[in-house]
Amino acid sequence: MCASSYCFREEYQGAIANSVESQVEDLGAETTEEEVAADRESTINDEEAQTIEVVKRMRGILNKLTPEKFEKLVGTVNQMPIDTTERLSAVIDLIFEKAVDEQGFSSTYAQMCQVLSKMSVRGEGSDSSNSGKSEVKFRNLIINKCQKEFEKDNMEEFKATRRKEIDECSDAEKKQELLLKLDYDETKLRKRSVGNIRFYWRAL
């Protein structure tokens, strides 16, 4: 009886010990997963912060860009960590908007694009099998940007929509405001369209 009781007690204590060890192992696994998730989040935050910094620096460079400072500033751009499609696209968007808004410097911005045209990054890819394998080139992205601007530049549709709004307006004062706004926006769109065409031919 005593022997049986002793054996049972040993088995019971052994089971408890195994259970405790198992819980400790599970807790360790959970902690490891949490640490991995924290590291991943930290990496993502670092990447986002670096992207924001690249955009900020690029905007500052474009604000200072003149023919006299061209070589120095382009050299600075070449040293920046523009190594993801997100950063490359952001840089191109900034250059494009500057070129169409400040057409007096369009040729300088176009010259910058010619210098940076050989820049490329590894694409993320649309799925895991292509991830990091495709090459995304600066030249291709700037061409796509200009083409998309051409495609959405539908002046006739824009004017027809605005004219309908004006014709349906019964308030004389409001109608006059709409007419003035139409004239302003139409001039702005035409200027942007011309700027896009000039930039496209100069940059390529």
**CATH numbers and ranges of domains, the chain:** 54-203 (1.25.40.180)
- Looking at the chain, the number of H-run helices and the number of E-run strands are 7, 2
Q: Using an 8 Å Cβ cutoff, are 162 and 183 in contact?
A: no
Q: What's the pLDDT at 130?
A: 43
Q: Using an 8 Å Cβ cutoff, are 54 and 82 in contact?
A: yes
pLDDT tens, residue order, the chain (204 aa):
445 444 545 554 555 555 545 554 554 555 566 655 555 566 568 889 999 999 999 999 999 999 999 999 999 999 999 999 999 999 999 999 999 999 989 999 999 999 999 999 988 654 444 445 689 999 999 999 999 998 887 888 888 999 999 999 999 999 999 999 999 999 999 999 999 999 999 887
Cα separation, 165 vs 146, in Å, equals 30
The mean of the pLDDT values for the chain is 82
* DSSP 8-state assignment for residue 151: H
Cα separation, 39 vs 149, in Å, equals 40
pLDDT tens profile 153-165: 788 888 899 999 9
